[in-house]
Structure 1
Amino acid sequence: MKDEEPFLLDDPARLKALAHPMRRLILRHLNIHGPATSTTIGELLGAKTGTTSYHLRQLEKYGFIEEIPERSGGRERWWRRSETPRDMRAPTPEQLAPEDRQVLEEFHRVGFEEDRALLERFPDAYRRDPDWAKGSRGLGRMTKEEFAEFFDAYVALVLKYSPRAQDASPGARPLYIRMIAFPADES
């Protein structure tokens, strides 16, 4: 697997596309379950086909998904996750114009709402099968430079063990993996 350069999500329109809860659900579905139509996604998410079609077109517009022409026909269009970079990183507030920083805040807010819900599911997942649910907590002491190196190594490790679905080993399952770190000595 070749090393990918991090892709900075510094385009406010792309960030906004990813900040929408319905679009995040659609991307999650395509990531976990593979290709789908707007009808099947709408049924699964409890949304009208017109709504899912709109959000699919927005995700396509910004390069996160693509139509599968060989499977599409008539009014039925099949969609899959595109070959976007897997190491996508949010910009710092200073990398955006002041008027665009609210989009970054919304992107983080929606993402952390999802993460909170995942954390609430963890105890049940651990009870069901502790071999498939792992957790870790720690406290480290690092300089900014060491922390940047640590984060890059973490992302590289996740990418190393997370091939695209078509390249995964038989029996591989999709896993939610999260890492959050911030200074412990701030209130």
Structure 2
Amino acid sequence: MKDDKPFMLDDPARLKALAHPMRRLMLRHLNVHGPATSTTLGELFDAKTGTTSYHLRQLEKYGFIEEIPERSTGRERWWRKAPGPRDMRLPTPDQLAAEDRPVLAEFHRIGLDEDRALLERFPDAYRRDPEWAKGSRGLGRMTKEEFGEFYEAYIALLIKYSHPAEDAPPGSRPMYVRFFAFPADED
């Protein structure tokens, strides 16, 4: 049975490990495409093997990836996404010490850059195959409690219909899914 309880990324060092653009690229590649070596990742991202090795070790240190011992030989080490919680949540700023809040801000900044790039790709993906590219925009009126319930229901649906790579049924594809919501009357 999978442990799908929310996992809080409230350890500043762990959050900092994910607040680095190269590490995010590498982790996303491992999530989408499966195992890779530091050499493979270096070629993909135009980085030196020493650089990718360092970032892979940081991701390993905080439990986001793991080495595949049976595929690794000599100096060639193969890496994969570590099994773990699929519902990782960020702390609110007040849950972090003041000196750690810039790490959360950087995490959000990098994520927003990634989201903008994905948003720019959406029209082409929709033109190519609208059955595999869906979008929704909406405006709803909710209480804070209803909004909390809405968010939890969204996460539950995401977990229900998402499969880890090793358990994915035939025909499954990795999908980028983004959710953000905030009050409209703060414009």
Shorter-normalised TM range: over 0.9
Q: Distance between the aligned counterparts of 2:154 and 2:90, measured in 1?
A: 16
Q: Distance between the aligned counterparts of 2:134 and 2:65, measured in 1?
A: 30
Q: Distance between the aligned counterparts of 1:2 and 1:39, measured in 2?
A: 32
1:14-49 CA distance string (max 9 Å, x none): 111101000000001000000010001111111111
- Gapped regions of structure 2 (runs ≥ 5): none
Residue 10 of structure 1: SS of its match in structure 2? coil
Q: Distance between the aligned counterparts of 1:2 and 1:73, measured in 2?
A: 31
- State the partner residue of 2:48: 48
Deviation, 1:2, is: 4.4
Q: 1:66 to 1:85 in 2, by over 3 A?
A: same
- State the partner residue of 1:11: 11
* TM-score normalized by the length of structure 2: 0.98
* TM-score normalized by the length of structure 1: 0.98
- State the partner residue of 2:116: 116
Residue 79 of structure 1: SS of its match in structure 2? strand
Query: In structure 1, what residue type is equivalent to 2:22?
Result: M
The correspondence of residues 96-115 of structure 1 with structure 2, limited to 5 A, is 96-115=96-115
- State the partner residue of 1:156: 156
Q: 1:53 to 1:35 in 2, by over 3 A?
A: same
Residue 185 of structure 1: SS of its match in structure 2? helix
Residue 177 of structure 2: SS of its match in structure 1? coil
Q: What root-mean-square deviation, in Å, do the aligned CA atoms of Structure 1 and Structure 2 show?
A: 0.9
- Gapped regions of structure 1 (runs ≥ 5): none
1:23-76 CA distance string (max 9 Å, x none): 000001000000010001111111111110000000000000000011101000
Q: Distance between the aligned counterparts of 2:2 and 2:50, measured in 1?
A: 39
1:105-133 CA distance string (max 9 Å, x none): 00011001100110000001111111111
Paired residues in the alignment total 187
Query: In structure 2, what residue type is equivalent to 1:83?
Result: P
